Chains A and B, each alone.
Chain A
């Protein structure tokens, strides 16, 4: 089953890649704030301006 070695190899490469991405994300504080990002994405400056005009 050489195919399985290829598949596991490929899957592991991606999984390890994800793992490093995860470590990087935690290290750089991507997940330190688990609340503000969910609010921040709601705010687009254009819409805010319009709302203020109203």
Chain B
């Protein structure tokens, strides 16, 4: 028998991440609640640009994903990894750097996003200096984790560790690839890809952020904390391994399902759908394994609020991973995309799976590291029930709203005209559902507040065991001879070999299907001769559009359906976006699509509309943008913007950066005069001028081609 080594688990870092999870959870969900109310009471932003819906909606998503769930992941990983490896974290210094670095990222996000420093790419809105910081802190986490695994005292790596490792490597790659951007100034950059390509990169990232930030690490946590809380082993350890490998091999290829019916090549869309449907199997493997762990222990679930939280979390995971693949089927996506259905879908995952599992873990872990009992089981039960009720109301409101609006958009009258030609009509119809959603959110949030109070009281009643003592024998060196002879043959002979073959085939199919067409066809993006780069003023207007997050509520992607071409105009073509760094297709239509807005209304209409949307559209829930009429266009960076565009291959004439500001002023003067002739007194250098220039340009180049053809 080997001698026991004594070592200490670092509980302080677990506590720090637990507190950060609670703090940012409250902040992120509070912002979510505010934007939910803004959707039916737009005035509550009080005309302040920094708290306008379009600027703080990304703040909400970033806060709940990277601050709440992010800290939750680290809390759970630091607790479970040490115990599974029977070792203290590799370096206390790296642990602290990781913790404070991550909080610094969150704080800088909370400052820059309301200021309008955004890349416009969903869940990757943070600008390039913060991107670099994220990469550094993430790698610190990775080194700390891998080094801990290397010095483990337990040879076998429990399945949770596999999930953590996959999370680290995949997120690193996703973040790096989606952050290929060229800086223009300190807080402004352009992505190197444009249009369709940029969209593909973004949703490859966006989808896998859900997969490898909200799913795999939480499955790892489930495999540790659920058996712990239930005090019984996971239903099938074999299943956990099989579904882990299947999940990570399949997930990476499903991204294009976010771009169905867009200008993305058809074969890429079909590929996304196929892999999404395949995902049902490994996802449900995880859900069933979690639920079946409780076989014979359901009496415990009745009494223990922790298990209640976990059961609902795992069930929500199962529901959203069935719903997701179904929404990736093109005919369903045609109805669900751009509607609140998607918002309902992600909140089943967010509130149910991530939120409830986080609180289940917190209720289990905090009393343990503080050597005390949970302050109040009653409060925890209350949190569970009010939270569940909140999810139900939230889902009810969003599914109802999504279906209603989706069907209204597509409805034709018996005579063949659009039944609801006014987009606003479909918005006003679902306002009651927005109210229900906000009520659901309010319930969920009050549950969270009770939870925080309960945990704070728990912490106060105990004392943190900063360095928890543990004993384990040192890891014996494996006899290499033995490994080769026994396992060397065995892995060839046993089932894992077949499994390898199948995974190789699965990966290879994905690779071949995506590779070959892109080699055979020189370019999958057809060029359209009449598509020209944006003028400097339009470019500045576009950057204002990005800064104020217009793409949060307005898509620029008309899908090839009659219901859309009737409403908005000709469907969007891939070749129209070749100079769009970044692409601005959007993912949600709270307002109508804007791709063919150019030339649809006079300049004066846009002027009125931006100043007070209800003046042109009575009942509109769009907030006013008065600051556009006060702030000056910043053309100090215009030349460097042009230069960066040129580097990326946008064909501006040589040395155009030197003339760009002149051209900008000429165009601004034209628009100003146009507005003055309609009796609007405005100065040439105000931001509204640039925005109008951009809006009036949108989707018009293709019309020039038509006119030219007619002339022939």
Which residues of chain A have a CB within 8 Å of any CB of chain B? Answer: 1-8, 10-19, 21-23, 25-42, 44-46
Given the interface pairs A19-B500, A19-B507, A28-B478, the reply to whether A10 lies near B156 with Cβ below 8 Å is no
Pick the residue among B169, B201, B248, B491 that contacts A27 (CB under 8 A): B491
Residue from A19, A27, A30, A41 whose CB has the most chain B CB atoms within 10 Å: A41
List the count of A-B residue pairs having beta carbons below 8 Å apart.
130
Check B249 against A37 for contact (C-beta < 8 Å): no
Stretch at the interface among B192-200, B452-460, B593-601, B657-665: B192-200
Check B231 against A18 for contact (C-beta < 8 Å): no
Tell me whether chain A's interface is mostly helix, strand or loop, or mixed.
Answer: helix
CA distance A39 to B237 in the complex (A): 10
Check A11 against B252 for contact (C-beta < 8 Å): yes
Which residues of chain B have a CB within 8 Å of any CB of chain A? Answer: 83-84, 154, 156-160, 162, 165-166, 169-170, 173, 177, 193, 196-198, 200-201, 204, 224, 227-228, 231-234, 237-238, 241, 245, 248-249, 252-253, 265, 268, 468-472, 478, 483, 486-488, 490-491, 496, 500, 503-504, 507, 510-511, 514-515, 518, 523-525
CA distance A29 to B491 in the complex (A): 8
Check B238 against A34 for contact (C-beta < 8 Å): yes
Contacts of A29 in B (CB 8 A): 483, 486-487
CA distance A15 to B170 in the complex (A): 9
Pick the residue among B170, B204, B490 that contacts A7 (CB under 8 A): B204
Contacts of A4 in B (CB 8 A): 197, 200, 268, 514, 518, 524
Can you name the residue of chain A whose Cβ is closest to the Cβ of B497? A26
CA distance A44 to B61 in the complex (A): 37
Q: Can you list 24 A-B pairs with a CB-CB distance of less than 8 A?
A: A1-B200, A1-B265, A3-B198, A3-B200, A8-B510, A8-B511, A8-B515, A11-B204, A15-B507, A19-B500, A23-B500, A25-B162, A26-B491, A27-B488, A27-B491, A32-B490, A37-B156, A37-B158, A37-B237, A38-B234, A40-B154, A40-B158, A41-B83, A41-B227
CA distance A37 to B169 in the complex (A): 24
Pick the residue among A3, A15, A19, A39 that contacts B201 (CB under 8 A): A3
Residue from A16, A31, A44, A46 whose CB has the most chain B CB atoms within 10 Å: A31
Check A14 against B170 for contact (C-beta < 8 Å): yes
Check A45 against B471 for contact (C-beta < 8 Å): yes
Check B157 against A30 for contact (C-beta < 8 Å): yes
- Chain A nearest CB: distance from B515 CB in Å? 6
Check A5 against B518 for contact (C-beta < 8 Å): yes
Can you name the residue of chain B whose Cβ is closest to the Cβ of A8? B514
Contacts of A26 in B (CB 8 A): 487, 491, 496, 500
Can you name the residue of chain B whose Cβ is closest to the Cβ of A18? B248
Check B249 against A45 for contact (C-beta < 8 Å): no
Given the interface pairs A15-B252, A26-B491, the reply to whether A2 lies near B197 with Cβ below 8 Å is yes
CA distance A33 to B490 in the complex (A): 13
Given the interface pairs A1-B525, A31-B496, A41-B224, the reply to whether A18 lies near B166 with Cβ below 8 Å is yes
**A18-B245, A38-B233 given. 13 additional CB < 8 A pairs?**
A3-B198, A4-B514, A6-B201, A8-B510, A10-B173, A13-B173, A23-B491, A26-B487, A27-B491, A28-B487, A29-B483, A38-B234, A44-B470
Check A42 against B231 for contact (C-beta < 8 Å): yes
Given the interface pairs A1-B525, A7-B204, A41-B224, the reply to whether A17 lies near B241 with Cβ below 8 Å is no
Pick the residue among B154, B156, B227, B253 that contacts A11 (CB under 8 A): B253
Check B233 against A3 for contact (C-beta < 8 Å): no
- Chain B nearest CB: distance from A9 CB in Å? 9
Contacts of A41 in B (CB 8 A): 83-84, 158, 160, 224, 227-228, 233
Can you name the residue of chain A whose Cβ is closest to the Cβ of B233? A38
4 tightest A-B CB contacts, nearest first: A3-B197, A38-B233, A38-B237, A1-B524
Given the interface pairs A3-B198, A4-B514, the reply to whether A39 lies near B523 with Cβ below 8 Å is no
- Chain A nearest CB: distance from B1 CB in Å? 15
- Chain A nearest CB: distance from B426 CB in Å? 34
Residue from B157, B196, B252, B265 whose CB has the most chain A CB atoms within 10 Å: B252
Residue from B158, B198, B233 whose CB has the most chain A CB atoms within 10 Å: B233
Check A1 against B518 for contact (C-beta < 8 Å): yes
- Chain A nearest CB: distance from B539 CB in Å? 22
CA distance A42 to B225 in the complex (A): 10
- Chain A nearest CB: distance from B90 CB in Å? 19
Contacts of B224 in A (CB 8 A): 41
Can you name the residue of chain A whose Cβ is closest to the Cβ of B524? A1
Pick the residue among A17, A33, A46 that contacts B468 (CB under 8 A): A46
Check B227 against A42 for contact (C-beta < 8 Å): yes
Pick the residue among A14, A31, A35 that contacts B173 (CB under 8 A): A14
CA distance A16 to B196 in the complex (A): 27
CA distance A25 to B83 in the complex (A): 20
CA distance A19 to B231 in the complex (A): 33
- Chain B nearest CB: distance from A20 CB in Å? 11
Contacts of B238 in A (CB 8 A): 34
Contacts of A16 in B (CB 8 A): 507
CA distance A14 to B503 in the complex (A): 13
Contacts of A45 in B (CB 8 A): 470-472
Can you name the residue of chain B whose Cβ is closest to the Cβ of A17? B169
Check B249 against A15 for contact (C-beta < 8 Å): yes
Contacts of A22 in B (CB 8 A): 245, 500, 503
Can you name the residue of chain A whose Cβ is closest to the Cβ of B483? A28
Contacts of A32 in B (CB 8 A): 487, 490
CA distance A32 to B170 in the complex (A): 26
- Chain A nearest CB: distance from B252 CB in Å? 5
Contacts of B169 in A (CB 8 A): 14, 17-18
CA distance A44 to B224 in the complex (A): 12
CA distance A51 to B440 in the complex (A): 42
Given the interface pairs A14-B170, A18-B248, the reply to whether A42 lies near B232 with Cβ below 8 Å is yes
Residue from A7, A35, A37 whose CB has the most chain B CB atoms within 10 Å: A7
- Chain A nearest CB: distance from B183 CB in Å? 20
- Chain A nearest CB: distance from B648 CB in Å? 12
CA distance A8 to B524 in the complex (A): 15
Contacts of B84 in A (CB 8 A): 41
- Chain A nearest CB: distance from B457 CB in Å? 23
Contacts of A2 in B (CB 8 A): 193, 197
CA distance A7 to B514 in the complex (A): 10
Can you name the residue of chain B whose Cβ is closest to the Cβ of A16? B507
